Chains A and B, each alone.
Chain A
Amino acid sequence: MESTALLQKLTAGMAFRGNPATLLSSSSASSHFARVQASAWPIMQGSRLRRLNVEATDLNANAFGTMPHSSTGLKIITKAVAVKTERGSTATAQQGHELLLFEALREGLDEEMERDPTVCVIGEDVGHYGGSYKVTKGMAEKYGDLRLLDTPIAENSFTGMAIGAAMSGLRPIVEGMNMGFLLLAFNQIANNCGMLHYTSGGQFTIPIVIRGPGGVGRQLGAEHSQRLESYFQSVPGLQMVACSTPYNAKGLMKAAIRSENPVILFEHVLLYNLKERIPDEEYVLCLEEAELVRPGEDITILTYSRMRHHVLQAVKTLVSKGYDPEVIDIRSLKPFDLFTIGNSVKKTHKVLIVEECMRTGGIGASLRAAIMENFFDELDAPIGCLSSQDVPTPYAGPLEDLTVVQPPQIVFAVEQLCKH
């Protein structure tokens, strides 16, 4: 494929607003995907991508055709495994620093706490213990016990306390040790967090961030494996985002803290140790935008959080079978970025949603409805939706694996849909 055609393809797939391109790094050593880097990493909302530097680490002939060379004259590397020493003239390749997702969250939190002294963290074991997933490790020593407030085990009350603090001028971040525990705080989240700005006629703002790990882990049992995004999505006045890589974790954390709206940031238990190289310079992502992960022509796969990685795993197989799926990480669970999604649907005319939510009333259900409502004429096939089974997550390993969507199911679903 000619480089210009490649660039055209890439820009055509990107949202007009200039989605930040993502660094893809899967945990496996051999990466089959092209790594697309934006040369201007700090992406503020509304800015456009200026240039694309294209690198392909391992090329699969079907993925991007023959080896592309950049029209800007930059060197293209074609080795299978990331070989740091050979990243010669692409100066951007060595910038940035590598870290794990929970460290990225911590970095974002740290930067915001330093920038604004009214930012504080409220939750169980966030202070001295450093957070049960180490997101706030070391921060209590730096900022003190009031800014990293260790609370008693009283989710409803300390979430309400955070809301009262937000109303009176602070910017608290509530950490649920596990997202599931926030079910106890449902009263405060639904009634006060979401609605209070409205019922007060706009007098009080609630610039709160509620975050925590959710999703199905490794045999954690039913109650520690919950996905709350479907429960909270109906609450008016809340924004919900889900992070899936260190890059978007840090960016979304910062954006959520800076937002005047109450934001729920969904993290995933199994993604905390994901490693990625992220920029050194400061960046804040847009809360309402989706992320184009992999451009394609055949089908649009919409996903978020951990399922993004299952999708990418399936894409390897699909690509080898000759399919060209477009993968979008919707990131913003409420509201949906219908522009990015719509552009993709108009291109591929087929949609598959892959999510970890329960089938009934999940994010996928809402997304399906939204796409049908807005883009019905663009569709050549019914919208596919792969969700978790409506089953309390069992403890036994094989059963647990059956409840969530696995890559072979994704491959099969794509094959079925592409027959249309």
Chain B
Amino acid sequence: MAMATAAVASVRLATTNALPRATQRSRDNEACSALNSAFFKNSIPSSSRSSRKNLKTLNDGSRKGICVRVKASTSDMVKEKALPADGQLISRHEGLDLYEDMILGRAFEDMCAQMYYRGKMFGFVHLYNGQEAVSTGFIKGLKKADYVCSTYRDHVHALSKGVPARQVMSELFGKATGCCRGQGGSMHMFSKEHNVLGGFAFIGEGIPVATGAAFTTKYRREVLKDDSADEVTIAFFGDGTCNNGQFFECLNMAALWKLPIVFVVENNLWAIGMSHYRATSVPEIWKKGPAFGMPGIHVDGMDVLKVREVAKEAIARARRGDGPTLVECETYRFRGHSLADPDELRKPAEKAHYAARDPIAALKNYLLENRLATEKELSAIEETINELIEDAVEFAEASPLPPHSQLLENVFADPKGFGIGPDGRYRCEGPGFTAGTAQV
């Protein structure tokens, strides 16, 4: 493997718009390489080689002193990233924070499975087990005002963004105290307070919405002259979505207008039962970024520290106004596509391979080995989270179902949209409306 001399990888791009296109493109490629080739020492070991073609990871099996590489997009030159003086990638506090968030995601999803099989929640429920590093790695790098836009596999995105577990659980139970008043369900988690823009049932649907939120930030800066507007939007979606038109259309528009957005592909290799390799002519999704004029990065999505590093760069790039980034995270879902999926097509060997790369176990090992936390502290965190989840379930159980009167609320922001009835009054003014019994 090519060993570059240690050099601090710089990811600053020249931000002048006056650059001729060719120069801009080559600078983008530079940024690409820099971002891609973060070279870490003493990071979380990658215990096995990825079996995917064209992807190289460094591996020599030993646990200490492994240099793990984030794949370069356009060049094989590997640049080393200088570590902070104490040699640690994260502080103790940050480490515990990450750990807690991932445990929250895992425990919540496990509880969802239990509740589903006990008949407390219904319909399609898509669980996130195994992919926690992506959600935690990215969303923990955001401010509250930043936007997150997701898909139907959205519980953990909402939780990482700060939506209380109680509200998410209630929503799943279909109760009136849910974050969407029970009107959305598993696939439609929204939060105005925490800027979670959904929750979409159709894949690809959320990407334009995310692009729109990023457009608003740019609009507020440039039209409304609000210099404090620097919100970044992150759009999460899967490998299957990357063959959908809306993905490409939005990559184009985001790069064209340099929108402050990060496109995060959670490539878990399977779209229900369709393998990524059977559906895609060019399986390397990160390569599609440069085709539209933005950096395309591939990162090990089972390693929260690597994800976090890439996320930091991509979010900073967007916040600076340098435009979008496409990040492909290699990840895996330990459960089926949904709770209704028998999951018969995936080979046990593949599942075992990724189970061994469980992001939570990996972070735990890292924290323990680098003496950032003790076993007891981590167990205490797990205990706390379990209690939180129990509390959320109790809260959801005790919450009331939505009353009949809620049926017609929220169809329109302005209920005059239901029109004028035969008696001359607006329908929304009639008593049947507020009781939910009006015919509209």
Contact = CB atoms under 8 A, between A and B. Distances in A.
Interface of A: 15-17, 117-118, 120, 144, 146-147, 151-152, 154, 156-170, 187-188, 191-192, 196-207, 236-237, 239, 259-261, 287-289, 332, 334-340, 342, 374-375
A166 B422 contact: no
B249 A206 contact: no
Contacts of B440: 335
Contacts of A156: 208, 245-246, 249
Interface stretch (B188-196, B319-327, B375-383): B188-196
A216 B153 CA distance: 43
A288 B209 contact: no
A260 B181 CA distance: 20
Contacts of B207: 157, 160
Interface residues of B, number: 63
A407 to B, nearest CB: 30
Given A161-B208, A192-B205, A205 B413 contact: yes
Interface centre among A161, A167, A197, A259 (most CB of B within 10 A): A161
A338 B426 CA distance: 10
Contact of A160 (B192, B212, B220, B413): B212
| Most-contacted residue by chain A among B147, B412, B418 (CB, 10 A) | B412
Nearest to B218: A146
Interface core residue of B179, B182, B192, B202 (most chain A CB under 10 Å): B192
B192 A204 contact: yes
A292 B43 CA distance: 75
B351 interface: no
B324 to A, nearest CB: 13
Contacts, number: 197
Nearest to B412: A261
B202 A203 contact: no
A159 B190 CA distance: 20
A157 B208 contact: yes
A159 B252 contact: no
Which residue, A120, A146, A201, has most C-beta atoms of chain B within 10 A? A201
Given A146-B223, A188-B205, A201 B413 contact: no
A162 B211 CA distance: 9
B432 to A, nearest CB: 14
Contact of B249 (A157, A164, A165, A259): A157
A162 B421 CA distance: 32
Question: Which of B183, B252, B411, B420 neighbours the largest number of chain A CB atoms within 10 Å of its CB?
Answer: B420
Nearest to A151: B253
Contacts of A338: 419-422
A375 B180 contact: no
Contacts of A205: 413
Contact of A337 (B179, B409, B420): B420
8 contacts: A164-B215, A169-B216, A199-B190, A201-B178, A239-B412, A289-B420, A335-B427, A336-B419
Contacts of B416: 287-288
Interface string B413-437: 1101111111110110000000000
B216 A335 contact: no
Closest A-B pairs by Cβ, 9 of them: A164-B212, A160-B208, A335-B419, A201-B181, A201-B180, A200-B190, A157-B249, A164-B209, A154-B249
B183 A164 contact: no
B30 to A, nearest CB: 26
B216 A168 contact: yes
A197 B411 contact: yes
Nearest to B439: A373
B184 to A, nearest CB: 4
